[in-house]
């Protein structure tokens, strides 16, 4: 299948690009970055030194994925998303790299800012324009500034509806594909307005 790198893109020596991946106009991939198979890195996107990106990940136009970010398979990073990697940034002096993790299937809406040191759970969704300051649970839908847990979503993107309690979890069913998902009570109870 091969790798496609647009002639205006910069892919530094020492980076690894997986088979089937496309790097588009003016994107920049720094040395030591690993981009998996069948990914799409959009126009003017930035992938920092040592960033790890799994397979089948989409990085939107002008997204900034700085050093210290790890993104698992099948995640979606929308246009203009920015990840931070230092809680006390200064233009001079020492800085402390703080890692952030994006788990499998997570989706981040355009123009969102993700503060460092958090984990975005599997199949979670971040609404466009959000500022994420805390961990997001698996299947959680968060949005706002600061982002708050508003509901739960299926891996297909459909809304999950609570149908019954089952021990230490709430059984939820997808409104679209009818898949069943269990959400721990301790997570379910964090819903805004519950």
Tens of pLDDT, residue by residue over 50-64, are 999 999 999 999 999
Centre a 10 Å sphere on the Cβ of residue 54 and count the other Cβ atoms it contains. 20
Q: Is pLDDT above 70 for 126?
A: yes
Helix intervals (H) in 31-190 = 185-188
Q: What's the CATH fold of domain 4-156?
A: UDP N-Acetylglucosamine Acyltransferase; domain 1 (2.160.10)
Sequence-distant (≥ 6) Cβ neighbours of residue 21 within 8 angstroms: 3, 4, 35, 36, 37, 38, 39, 40, 41
> Which pLDDT score, from 0 to 100, does residue 1 have?
75
Q: What are the backbone angles phi and psi of residue 188, rounded to the nearest 5°?
A: -55, -40
* Percentage of the chain lying above the pLDDT 70 cut: 99
- The count of other CB atoms within 10 Å of the CB of residue 5 is 17
Cβ atoms within 10 Å, residue 13? 6
Other CB atoms within a 10 A radius of the CB of residue 141 amount to 22
pLDDT at position 144 is 97
């Amino acid at each position: 299948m091969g790798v496609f790198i647009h002639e205006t893109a910069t892919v530094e020596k020492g980076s690894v690009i997986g088979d089937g991946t496309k790097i588009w106009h003016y994107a920049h991939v720094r040395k030591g970055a690993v981009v998996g198979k069948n990914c799409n890195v959009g126009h003017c996107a930035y992938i920092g030194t040592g960033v790890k990106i799994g397979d089948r990940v989409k990085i939107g136009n002008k997204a900034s994925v700085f050093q210290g970010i790890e993104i698992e398979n099948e995640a979606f990073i929308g246009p203009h998303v920015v990840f931070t990697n230092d809680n006390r940034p200064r233009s001079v002096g020492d800085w402390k790299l703080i890692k952030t993790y994006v788990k499998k299937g997570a989706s981040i809406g355009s123009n969102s800012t993700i503060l460092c040191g958090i984990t975005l759970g599997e199949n979670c969704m971040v609404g466009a324009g959000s500022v994420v300051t805390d961990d997001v649970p698996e299947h959680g839908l968060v949005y706002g500034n600061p982002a708050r847990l508003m509901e739960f979503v299926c891996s297909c993107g459909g809304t999950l509806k609570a149908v019954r309690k089952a021990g230490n979890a709430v059984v939820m069913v997808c409104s679209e594909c009818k898949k069943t998902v269990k959400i721990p009570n301790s997570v379910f109870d964090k819903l805004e307005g519950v």
